[in-house]
Amino acid sequence: MKLWGGRFTKQTNRLVEEYTASIPFDQKLFEEDIRGSLAHVRMLGECGIIRPGEAKKISEGLKTIREKIRAGKVEFSVSHEDIHMNIEKLLIEEIGPTGGKLHTGRSRNDQVALDMHLYVRARTLDLVKALTALQEVLVEKAEEHVDTILPGYTHLQRAQPVRLAHHLLAYVDMFGRDAERLKDSYKRVNTMPLGAGAIAGTTFPIRRERVAEELGFDRLYDNSMDAVSDRDYLVEFLSAASLIMVHLSRLSEELILWSSEEFGYVELDDAFCTGSSMMPQKKNPDVPELIRGKTGRVMGHWVSLMTTLKALPLTYNKDMQEDKEGVFDSVETLKGALALTAPMVAGMKVNGEKMRRNAEEGFSNATDLADYLVTKGLPFREAHEVVGRLVLTCLHEGKSLTDLTLEEYREACPLVEEDVYEKLKVENVADARNAGSGTARSRVLEVLKKKKIELDETRNWLNTVRY
């Protein structure tokens, strides 16, 4: 017998049951569903909508069911469609007809919205925590490599020397923005929809503030129609999740490139790589490749939900049941990617020698040589020309700018003096960028300090919010 069977004269077609059921995936929400029901039934009892004894009996029944589900002793059924009706059915079996009073003043429409708010709220905080842990690892790596110089790239061509710390700190800021985005969306995810009923509210004298307080919600929906049809908080979550994946994917891409024989900048730990079944020499960076590869599916879930919502009339439509799997899958995908990236970065070996050599050989100090000639009195346009020719000479002779003798320099431009070598050292080239957001040692050290303070602030925030 269906919980809604009264109006029907026929059994539901078995294929329809299977097609419309969400229990295969929304059983993931059983903790949230029971937590919400416990708060709801307590309020029903307190407000005299049901008798206190009944509320107590229902609470106890719900807790028993929770234990059974946790212990894996419950078999859900597609004929009860979703987690909400499966639990209600179990409750009635457990405590008898009193169980049928749980759903007073509530609909599955506000119930499912409540469950998803609770679920995504917790996952939002999990993600902020995981991002913070990754940022911490990157900050530590950056601290180890303040004095490691590599060529910074534009167009994937060597451009100007940068400190490896500076490069890593760029990622710290990307993940910092990701955490900020989640912190901001937390305000909206932490809004309680319960009390909206199916669409227009409820005739029972409920006190939803009481439920909100118990469940740790900071705000309530003002409009019942919005409460049951709003999925913006899920879109926001998927959008933030997509951007996190994009950032992880860019980092992964660099690790893949850098660990290739051609770059030779880093070596990933053996524990994070796999071999080839045919080529004995291979050590493949599967983990960053898979992170890069899985980015598309999270972005896809965001597009998919936006598409589901874009033409839906108010309020609840069954289409909305499609909001769940993409969110669940994104949570799992991100969890794995973040949990692996942190130890992979922590455990990678950096070949500072190779980085430095590439920075020196790549003429990444050519701009600085031109600037040097300008300080000696040459107009910039002429300096550019002189340096261009010197680069050409070096290219022909397989040299870098610092390999040229003073005589060779003077032949090109008599203004050059012995101090040119000091000027062209890659560290000094980097340290000349000491204004604003530049890569100078002093700036990098300041930023490192600032990032640690920001990380502390996020950790403090995590301690003040409700799960």
| Annotated catalytic residue 155 | yes
**Residue 309 interacts with ligand ARG (CB under 6 A): yes or no:** no
- Is 37 a binding residue for ligand ARG by CB under 6 A? The answer is no
In the complex, least distance from residue 109 CB atom to ligand ARG, rounded to whole angstroms: 5
Cβ 218 to ligand ARG, closest distance in Å? 24
Give me the catalytic one of 37, 77, 155, 185: 155
Pairs from 285-291 (Cβ < 8 Å, separation ≥ 24): 285/255, 285/256, 285/259, 287/252, 287/340, 287/344, 288/251, 288/252, 288/253, 288/255, 288/256, 288/341, 288/344, 289/252, 289/256, 291/245, 291/248, 291/249, 291/252, 291/337, 291/340, 291/341
Closest separation between CB of residue 189 and ligand ARG, Å? 17
Shortest Å, Cβ 124 to ligand ARG: 20
Q: Is 334 in the site for ligand ARG (CB under 6 A)?
A: no
Chain position carrying tokens 């919600």: 217
Q: Is 315 in the site for ligand ARG (CB under 6 A)?
A: no
Site for ligand ARG (CB under 6 A): which residue of 35, 40, 108, 163? 108
Dihedral of alpha carbons 346, 352, 354, 358, sign: positive
Which stretch, 108-116, 186-194, 262-270, 305-313, contacts ligand ARG (CB under 6 A)? 108-116
C-beta of 121 vs 294, nearer to ligand ARG? 121
Binding test (CB under 6 A) with ligand ARG, winner from 252, 321, 333, 364: 321
Residues 63-82 that bind ligand ARG (CB under 6 A): 82
Stretch binding ligand ARG (CB under 6 A), from 173-181, 287-295, 318-326, 436-444: 318-326
Q: Which of 62, 320, 440, 447 binds ligand ARG (CB under 6 A)?
A: 320
* Residue length of the chain: 467
Minimum gap (Å) between residue 282 Cβ and ligand ARG: 46
For residues 4 and 380, which CB has a smaller minimum distance to ligand ARG in the complex? 4
Asked whether position 112 contacts ligand ARG by CB under 6 A, the answer is: yes
Q: Is 166 in the site for ligand ARG (CB under 6 A)?
A: no
State the Cα–Cα distance between residues 98 and 350, nearest whole angstrom: 66
Q: Which of 93, 96, 118, 122 is nearest to 40 (CA)?
A: 118
User: Quick one: which of 257, 315, 244 has its CA closest to 285?
Assistant: 257
Query: What backbone torsions phi and psi does residue 113 show, to the nearest 5 degrees?
Result: -65, -40
Q: Which stretch binds ligand ARG (CB under 6 A): 36-44, 183-191, 313-321, 459-467?
A: 313-321
Reported as half-sphere exposure (CB side, CA atoms, 13 A), residue 411 has a value of 8
The rounded distance, in Å, linking the Cα atoms of 377 and 209 is 75
Is residue 123 within 8 A of residue 29, CB to CB? The reply is no
Which CB atom, from 179 or from 320, has the smaller least distance to ligand ARG? Answer: 320
Residues 192-221, mask of contacts with ligand ARG (x by CB under 6 A): ------------------------------
Q: What is each CA distance from 300 to 67, 174, 179, 292, in whole angstroms?
A: 36, 21, 21, 14
Give the range of 30-38, 96-104, 106-114, 293-301 binding ligand ARG by CB under 6 A. 106-114
SS3 label, residue 273? coil
Alpha helices in 145-285 (DSSP H): 164-189, 208-215, 224-229, 232-258
Segment near ligand ARG (CB under 6 A); pick from 42-50, 241-249, 293-301, 314-322: 314-322
| DSSP string of 295-316, one letter each residue | HHHHHHHHHHHHHHHTTPPSS-
Is 167 designated active site?
no
- Total residues in contact with ligand ARG, by rule CB under 6 A: 10
Report the residue from 175, 316, 372, 409 that binds ligand ARG according to the rule CB under 6 A. 316
Residue entry with tokens 């119930």: 111
Contact 288, 253 (CB under 8 A): yes
Write down the catalytic residue from 117, 185, 276, 304. Answer: 276
Q: Furthest-apart CA pair in the chain: how many Å? A: 102
Smallest distance, Å, CB 312 to ligand ARG? 12
Q: Which stretch binds ligand ARG (CB under 6 A): 63-71, 104-112, 173-181, 372-380?
A: 104-112
> Should residue 22 be labelled a site residue for ligand ARG when binding is judged by CB under 6 A?
yes
CA distance 455 to 433: 26
Residue 164 in contact with ligand ARG, rule: CB under 6 A: no
CA–CA gap between residue 272 and residue 163 (Å, rounded) = 26
Point out which residues bind ligand ARG (CB under 6 A).
22, 26, 82, 108-109, 112, 316, 318, 320-321
* Residues carrying an active site annotation: 155, 276
